[in-house]
Structure 1
Amino acid sequence: MSKLVIIGNGIAGVTVARHVRKRSDIEIMIISAETEHFFSRTALMYIFMGHMTYEHTKPYEDCFWQKNRIDLKQDYVDEINTETKVLTLASGEKIDYSQLVMATGSQSNKFGWPGQDLPGVQTLFNYQDLLLMEENSKHAKHAVIVGGGLIGVEMAEMLISRGIEVTFLVREERFWGNILPDDEAKLVQQHAEIHGVHFKFSTELNTITAGNNGRVNAITTSTGEELACDFVGLSVGVHPSITLAAKSNMAVGRGILVNDFLETNIADVYAVGDCAEIEVVEGRNRIEPLWYTGKMQGETLARTITGDKTKYDRGIWFNSAKFFDVEYQTYGFVANEPIDGIDSFYWQHPKENICVRITYQTDTQVVTGVNTFGIRMRHNIWQHWLSHHCTLKYVLQNLRTANFDPELFRHYEKNIITAFNKQYPSNKLTLSPLQWLTKRFTKEQTNAQ
């Protein structure tokens, strides 16, 4: 009987297992050294802040796996023999497979800073990191976080919730400067500062030093400044975990190289999620270290494994995040700097941390992307608009149909239209009150949903 073995129990690997089980009765085993059961990695911060327990982060009851005949093994995989199709575990146990899925995820970046391995210095990526952060922050008074990524924002919020002062070193001239346009970056920066974050822009880590007790007690920056601290969080991104694949004759680049069907160069071996690098004909290969793309890849690969060979199609780019209590969504492509041939319309609430930026082609007015802060948008609506090349005028006139905020939340579409009309009086938009009430129920929008 066929046996599917999946290395890694993150969202990508678990999705493969669940969807293969829906379509097949083959034997399935998931191997992971991190935790016995799948949990929501994005919820780690809420465990630390006391909003949830670890048990709350598990989407499925422990009995789910036995009920669905998915075997779980908590161990490291030391070696893969792709010729004999046998795995060797750290415990010495041998596991055979018919098909193998590499879902080994990512690991945090470190760049060889002096002192980066001192006690009190850490990254935040897995459950073990969370336990270490509990220990390292027990007596901390001041923390330095290096790198302006989302993990750094999470660490800042976590530490501030414990009354620990946070200084943020950001290499760029503004927060998330390689992703966000200036207006959105300022909004996030100011909101974080209100919550107690102290930013140092255009500043990099130079060295980390220890005190008499052997633990971190200060850092020096690229500007020569010394900052006293008793906790250092390293959040300078992640890279695919490829060590096991590389020593197992799998082709690797930045990640494990796969084609559009998520197949590696080895027969019956696949890769999904953060560790997979999708080869493209033109341009830079793609690594997609996102929760939702891992889930999509897992669903796609399950079809291929069960006999329905299916090409992975990411569709319209999407991502979301949370900066303290401000929710962020992006669809399509919104550049951090101006691009020839692309214009944008930007609206920001005068008092609240709410804004919308819609980018569009200058000549055709076709919308190419959107950033939203503080307004929840419907994924399916924006996917429809972007894939069907809808114009800016159409999107603005129908913007309320995309609003996904809970009932009784204030709506700002009229304010947005008013701002657009002031900025572009020659392209003035009109929409009657009756249209505002009925627009979401039109046949076209029903089909879009």
Structure 2
Amino acid sequence: MTYVIIGNGIASLGAIDGIRKYDRINPITVIGLENTAAYGKPLTSYLLAGRINPEGMSLRTDNYYKNKDVSLKLATQITHIDLENRVLSTSCGDKIPYTKLLIATGGKPYVPDVKGVEGDGVYNFTDAKDAYRLIDSVKDLKRAVVIGGGLIGLKAAESLYNRGVEVAVIESGERILHLAYDAEAAGLISRRVESAGMPVRCGVRGEQIVRDKSGKLRGILLNDKSFLEADAIVIAIGVVSRIRLAEQAGLAVDKGIVVDDNMFTGADGVYAAGDVAQARDVIFDKDKVVPVWSNAYTQGYYAGRNMAGNNSKYPGTMSMSSISFFGLPTISVGEVNPDLENTDYEIYTFFDEPKQSYRKLVFKREQLVGYVLVGDIDFAGMYTSFIKFKFKVDSQTRKRLSEGEPDVLMWPDDFFNKAWNPES
């Protein structure tokens, strides 16, 4: 028995832990495209901002891999998966056999259709190497434009700002953070960002990156014919799943690799997890790719358990974003932008602009299915528990939750009975 994991991110660590819970004997090989062991990609912006050092990016010590009997093959690209013979091919011509395989290749940066995007002065912002490139260049940067008003884009912009760079953000949508937050929360965050001195322009997109005759970057021309001067352009729109290997192998793919509740792809011995996997979403009750760090680890963990022969159903993905912008803490979980014409939904909001505090709770029938907190996030964990365990809440409980007073005593008695008497 040989376990092979393609990808060396948080999902791979989950898989290692899952496998080793039930199989401490058979070897594991982890193949990574980057020349580094697993690190925290959400920490990339903190690395760029200078708030952590490179060592602080590591998720595990070298002893972790040794103690788990894991062989690392770094700076290695897999070019083909032979499902029939259970063999992987590398770009160097090597052949790597497997008995059980996990595809955890993650995501790759989405690159917009902008003229001149291929060239000096343009950076992606997904991997640690992107941050290192920017750190090496930041001493020569006066102005930068970040393309993308989502979570990644705003944190990249804030990190450059903290390095003393003048930064502007452009977003093609009507507002920033349109996927993770609602309009009110996004507006509050946008005003916080702009008050710090970082302009945000929505409803515009880049048409052409402009360079002088020597090739030096001068700025970016927008579709409204305005021009933003810049010494660097940072593309931080988001990621799309790396599904090429799976497609070539003949696995079922959609937005990501299609898996069942065991993270199984349908091909003998082959599983998928992390940003490349399209798994069940517990709130929307359908399969989705949700590129959230905690989900990736959990998916990997359950994939590993199943690879080791323990039949374990993945409990499901939950959309979640928790991040601060210029010191303003925020969190968004679940369905926060419901169809307002659907009478199944009931929405409660609280907004205190001077205190920069916002709370929104979304109920569907008798369950909390989503919430947004900005400013005061102390009870986030409690709200999340109501969503995760799908507690039914009556009108009185909904009112107390909406007033910002969640309490464990609101949990149903049946939940406590099962917790204390699991065999009952």
TM-score of the aligned structures, taking structure 2 as reference length: 0.88
Structure 1 residues 323-353: Cα deviation after superposition (integer angstroms, max 9, x where no partner): 2322222233111663432232211234222
Distance 1:167 1:319, change over 3 A: closer
Describe how 1:332-411 pairs up with structure 2 within 5 A: 332-335=334-337, 338-341=340-343, 342-361=345-364, 366-374=367-375, 375-379=377-381, 382-384=384-386, 387-391=390-394, 393-397=396-400
Question: Cα offset for 1:72?
Answer: 0.9
Please give the root-mean-square deviation of Cα atoms over the aligned residues, in Å: 2.7
Segments of 5+ residues of structure 1 without an aligned counterpart are 400-412, 418-435
Quickly say closer, same or farther: Cα 1:211–1:377, change in 2 above 3 A: farther
Q: Determine the structure 1 residue equivalent to 2:422.
A: none
Contact 2:117 2:209 (C-alpha < 8 Å) held by counterparts: yes
* Distance in 2 between residues matched to 1:112 and 1:339, nearest whole Å: 35
Greater Cα shift, 84-93 or 114-123:
84-93
Partner SS, residue 46 of structure 2: helix
How far did 1:390 drift?
Answer: 1.4
* 1:308 aligned partner: 310
Aligned CA distance change for structure 1 residues 329 and 112 (closer, same or farther; 3 Å): same
- Offset from partner CA, 1:58-94 (integer Å, 9 cap, x none): 1321122112211111122222222222222233332
Q: Match of 2:371, SS?
A: strand
Distance 1:87 1:186 in 2: 48
Residue in structure 2 matched with residue 40 of structure 1 by the alignment: 40
- Check whether the contact 1:36–1:73 (CA below 8 A) recurs between aligned residues: no
Distance apart, 1:172 and its partner CA: 2.0
- 1:331 counterpart (324, 330, 333): 333
Distance in structure 2 (CA, Å) of the matches to 1:133 and 1:392:
52
**1:440 shift after superposition:** 5.6
Larger Rg: 1
Contact 1:19–1:302 (Cα < 8 Å) also in 2:
yes
* Corresponding residue of 1:291: 293
Cα distance change, pair 442–129 in 1 and its aligned pair in 2 (3 A): closer
Listed one character per residue, the Cα deviations across residues 293-340 of structure 1 (whole Å, up to 9, x for unaligned) are 111211211221121222323165433233232222223311166343
Q: In 2 relative to 1, CA 268–151 (structure 1 residues): closer, same or farther, beyond 3 Å?
A: same
Shift of 1:205: 1.1
SS across alignment from 2:139: coil
The CA distance in 1 between the partners of 2:21 and 2:262, in whole Å, is 20
Work out the CA distance in 2 between the residues paired with 1:284 and 1:387: 16
Would you say the 8 A contact 2:150–2:178 is kept in 1?
A: no
SS state at 2:396 partner: helix
- What TM-score does the superposition give when structure 1 sets the normalisation length? 0.84
Distance in 1 between residues matched to 2:368 and 2:287, nearest whole Å: 25
What letter corresponds to residue 151 of structure 2 in structure 1? L
Q: CA deviation at 1:273?
A: 0.7
Q: 1:308 to 1:114 in 2, by over 3 A?
A: same
Q: Secondary structure in 1 aligned to 2:356?
A: coil
Q: Which runs of 5+ in 2 are unaligned?
A: 420-424
More displaced stretch, 6-15 vs 298-307:
298-307
With over 3 angstroms needed to count, the CA separation of the structure-2 counterparts of 1:57 and 1:447, relative to structure 1, is farther
Question: What is the CA-CA distance between 1:223 and the residue it aligns to?
Answer: 0.6
Do the aligned partners of residues 58 and 179 (structure 1) sit closer, same or farther apart at CA in structure 2, a change above 3 Å counting? closer
* Residues paired across the two proteins, number: 410
Q: In the alignment, what sits opposite 2:87?
A: 86
Does the residue aligned with 1:174 lie in a helix, a strand or coil?
coil
Look up the match of 1:15.
14
Contact 1:120–1:136 (CA under 8 A) maintained in structure 2: no
User: Cα 1:148–1:30, aligned 2, differ >3 Å: closer, same or farther?
Assistant: same
Q: Which has the higher contact order (CA 8 A, sep 6+)?
A: 2
Cα distance in 2 between the residues matched to 1:370 and 1:115: 40
* Equivalent residue number for residue 60 of structure 1: 60
Q: Deviations over 1:244-291 (max 9, x none)?
A: 2222232323222222322224211111111112389x9974112111
Instruction: Rate the CA distance shift 1:442–1:294 in 2: closer, same or farther, 3 A.
Output: closer
Q: Distance in 1 between matches of 2:135 and 2:36?
A: 20
Matched, 1:164 2:165: yes
> Which of 320, 323, 326 is equivalent to 1:321?
323
Percent pairwise identity: 24
Structure 2 counterparts to residues 142-291 of structure 1, below 5 A: 142-278=143-279, 285-291=287-293
Q: Distance in 1 between matches of 2:8 and 2:379?
A: 30
Tell me if the contact between 2:302 and 2:312 (Cα under 8 Å) persists in the aligned partners. yes
Cα drift, residue 444 of structure 1: 6.2
Q: Between 97-106 and 30-39, report the one with greater CA deviation.
A: 30-39
Show CA shifts across 1:409-443 (max 9, x none).
xxxx6xx58xxxxxxxxxxxxxxxxxx9xx66789
Q: Is the 8 A contact 1:137 1:231 kept in 2?
A: no
Relative to structure 1, the CA distance from residue 56 to residue 87 in structure 2 (aligned partners, 3 Å threshold; closer, same or farther) is same
